Amino acid sequence: MVIDAATILTGSFNFTKAAEERNAENLLVIKDAPELVNAYAANIQAHAAHAHPYTRAAATAPPAAAAPGATADGEVHGNRHTKVYHLPGCPGYNRMHPTNRVPFATEAEAQQARYRKAKGCP
């Protein structure tokens, strides 16, 4: 954390009650180090440039009459990094970043590609 373009706070302390009262946290305050402040500020800006705001999307459940392995919109979402797939209505279905999403028509197709169903998915 850079404060007033002059002071750096770094360490594992995360400004919660648990961090203050129970956890083994550390906090280092650095002052009078303008080159280090500039390096921290540049790092923060680099991360902010590729960050996306969190938006909570409503999940939709597949219709009761759907065929086994079929989904409400015909699409199973797989995560290319974790190799986990989600069905519509499953926790996390709408939260996957589009660049990580691999679309599958059915669960069988996702399983054929060696993806596994997400925990919490019926």
pTM of the model as a whole: 0.41
Place of tokens 């759907």: 66
CB 62 within 8 A of CB 70: yes
Q: Which two tokens stand for residue 83?
A: 């190799």
- Determine the pLDDT at residue 69: 44
Q: What is the pLDDT of residues 25-46, one digit of tens each?
A: 999 999 999 999 999 989 888 8
pLDDT in tens, 77-112: 999 889 999 998 888 888 888 888 888 888 899 999
DSSP line for 34-83:
HHHHHHHHHHHHHHHHT----------PPPTTPPTT--TTS-EEEETTTT
Q: Which domains does the chain have, with CATH numbers?
A: 2-49 (no CATH), 57-122 (3.40.10.10)
SS3 113: coil
